[in-house]
């Protein structure tokens, strides 16, 4: 009988190769998978991924589905064929396509939030510059208010400098994210 080849992700293969890991439920395999994973994959996404992989292994007869009527639980056992299968190990990118889509969406959201923050900071900067310019005009018109206007001018100018720093930082992060 020719050897069967099945593609499988590295972490899942490692867990299933453990001889003590047999007679398991999908939830148990999912929990082991999440414990071994370094990604922030949701429990639901991980369950779907593991369930699809287990179903595929059942179809290929590498695993046997066992229904326990008394407890209404489903467990899976490795078959004799399991040890004869040639597992082709996929890298982490292949195993986490749903996760990659989620990360891409999250990155897009972050970029959008950064762009909105940049616009708001630019508006705040223009407001602050206008405020400091107005304090200078008022100072020239009302020299008797020098002390109060000068302190307000300095505060507005410092605020402008902080906003300019924020804008530079946001632009730097945006340019890095969009590469």
**Single pTM value for the model:** 0.48
In the predicted structure, residue 95 carries a pLDDT above the cut 50: no
Q: What is the pLDDT of residue 93?
A: 43
Distance CA 96, CA 115 (A): 28
Which two three-digit tokens encode residue 116?
Answer: 């909105």
| Topology of the domain comprising 5-95 | Arc Repressor Mutant, subunit A (1.10.10)
Q: What is the pLDDT of residue 173?
A: 87
Burial class (CB in 10 A: 0-12, 13-18, 19+), 97: exposed
Distance CA 35, CA 41 (A): 11
Q: Do residues 41 and 96 lie in contact, with contact meaning Cβ atoms separated by under 8 Å?
A: yes
Mean confidence (pLDDT) of the chain: 84
- CA-to-CA distance for 48 and 35, rounded, in angstroms? 16
Q: Which two tokens stand for residue 120?
A: 């708001």
The CA distance from 37 to 163, in Å, is 40
Note the pLDDT of residue 101: 61
Q: What is the pLDDT of residues 60-80, one digit of tens each?
A: 898 999 987 777 789 999 998
């Amino acid at each position: 009988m020719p050897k069967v080849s099945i593609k499988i992700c590295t972490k899942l293969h490692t867990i299933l190769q453990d001889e003590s890991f047999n007679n398991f439920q999908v939830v148990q395999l999912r929990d082991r998978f999440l414990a071994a994973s370094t990604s922030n994959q949701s429990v639901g996404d991980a369950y779907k991924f593991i369930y699809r992989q287990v179903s595929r292994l059942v179809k290929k007869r590498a695993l046997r589905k066992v229904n326990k009527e008394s407890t209404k639980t489903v467990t899976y056992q490795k078959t004799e064929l399991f040890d004869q299968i040639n597992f082709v190990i996929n890298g982490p990118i292949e195993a986490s396509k749903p996760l990659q889509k989620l990360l891409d969406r999250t990155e897009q959201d972050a970029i959008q939030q950064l762009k909105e923050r940049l616009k708001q900071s630019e508006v705040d900067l223009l407001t602050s510059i206008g405020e400091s310019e107005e304090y200078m005009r008022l100072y020239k018109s009302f020299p008797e208010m020098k002390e109060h206007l000068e302190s307000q001018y300095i505060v507005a100018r410092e605020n402008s400098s902080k906003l300019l720093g924020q804008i530079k930082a946001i632009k730097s992060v945006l340019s890095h994210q969009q590469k």
